Amino acid sequence: MKRPSLAVMVALCAGLAGGAAQAAEQATVEALLQRIEALEARLRELEAREQPVTPTLREVRVAQTMPEPGAELTDAVSGSERLAAVEEPVSPEPEIHAGGALRFNLVHRDFVDSSEGKRGESGLDVFRLNVDGRIDNILVSAEYRFYSYMNTIHHGWLGYEFEDASQLQIGIHQVPFGLLPYAAHNAWFGVPYYLGLGDDYDMGVRYQRQDGPWTSHLAFYKNEELNSPGDLDRYSFDLVQVDDQQNEEINQFNARLAYTFGLGSSCETEVGGSGQWSEVYNAVSDRRGDHWAAAAHVDSRCGRWNLQLQGIRYAYDPANPVGVDSAAVRVGAFGGSYGIASEADVAVANLAYNFESPVPWIDQITCYNDYSRLFKDEPGAIDSQINTLGCAIGSGPLFTYIDYILASNMAFFGDGSMAAGGRDEWRRRFNVNIGFYW
């Protein structure tokens, strides 16, 4: 209803007064004003009856932006600005998780006099911190490790996950080659790791996808993870520049394709092949050689059994200056370095069984025997071998490896050599690795 103006109300009152002129002469001005106020109150009452009782959508949204009782108002935000803020899409909470691990070693080595004399030794293995997660389709994963003798990055990459769940990763990540994620079950790993052909991390870009039973990887790595081939404080083994060996790996391409038989069943068997090619830059000659490697693998998980088989062939052709032997190249990590044969074959045969836990406070018991061997092309060279018999036990946040390691002519086992030379003698290491994870 349209509200009458004050002039109309005055005219109405005047008409009433004209009909009773004699009474108006006797009325005071105060009485007339009281009648006008009464009429205005009546009009307001009629107008209120016709107002809608449901608030508008805008009123509801603006009301929702108001603070709870007792909260402070934001001085600079108007009602319209608050409404605009409410109507913007709300981003999901980021799924970022921080974790880590603390691990210790108890060791006995029969090839170290002090270890024999002390009946073993113990110490810090590693303290590590992890960050993993995603914000929308953006992925992140990183890990930094602290050892008693060095600190280094393990991996660190950013990624994007497409609608088909395939991923593109950029940064320091695991090179897709051979058995993944590991070519062993034990804490010490096997021959491929000490050649830089297992659990290797480099700086580059990787694309991975899964189409039903098919898994594929394509990757390019500009250089090793630190972009500092003279730095031996690293986790994974790469070509390093030490003494007259001044080579480094650059411009590496990787491709891996695998097919899983029985996908989704209690008996899955992955069969796959991998290829790797890179240039090898020599800082002294300022020339580039090359390197290639190829692998075929089987990873079968049937019931409680896991069988891993792998064969690798690799070759380095470095562009060394005159006088430097090309029969071996130098790799390094964990603060040290050693030579490996420039051309060789590798065989891996691992078998593991996951036992049913006999007590409720143990979640997992997996026992295994992991064997690997390096067959060197160099005439007269002694092969390098390692065999690990052990068990991994999981109990809540605690995870323990108990390993008995036999190694012949292996790096880190006395005077063993993964290049030419060395000794055809088995060395022993008993290793207990205890870790707390969070």
Residue range 48-73, pLDDT digits in tens: 554 443 333 333 333 333 233 333 32
Binning pLDDT at 50, 70 and 90, where does residue 258 land?
very high
Which one is predicted more confidently, 341 or 82?
341
Question: Cα 303 to chain center, whole Å?
Answer: 28
Say what the pTM is.
Answer: 0.78
Mean predicted confidence (pLDDT) in 422-438: 95
- Reference 252, options 221, 274, 291, 207; nearest CA is 221
Binning pLDDT at 50, 70 and 90, where does residue 37 land?
confident
Residue range 373-422, pLDDT digits in tens: 999 999 999 999 999 999 999 999 999 999 999 999 999 999 999 999 89
Residue range 330-349, pLDDT digits in tens: 999 999 999 999 999 999 99
> CA separation (Å) from 166 to 131, 137, 143, 279, 287?
21, 11, 22, 28, 37
Residues 417, 327 contacting (CB under 8 angstroms):
no
Alpha helices, DSSP H, located in 151-300: 191-195
Strand partners, 435: 103, 399
- Phi and psi at residue 89, in whole multiples of 5°? -65, 140
Residue 127 CB-half CA count within 13 A? 7
Which one is predicted more confidently, 297 or 31?
297
Q: Kindly state the percentage of the chain with pLDDT values over 90.
A: 75
- Reference 176, options 155, 154, 202; nearest CA is 202
Q: Among 36-40, 195-199, 377-381, which range has the highest average pLDDT?
A: 195-199
pLDDT for 33: 65
Residue range 171-196, pLDDT digits in tens: 999 999 999 999 999 999 999 999 99
118: its two tokens: 């002390």
Contacts of 205 (CB under 8 A, 6+ apart): 168, 169, 170, 219, 220
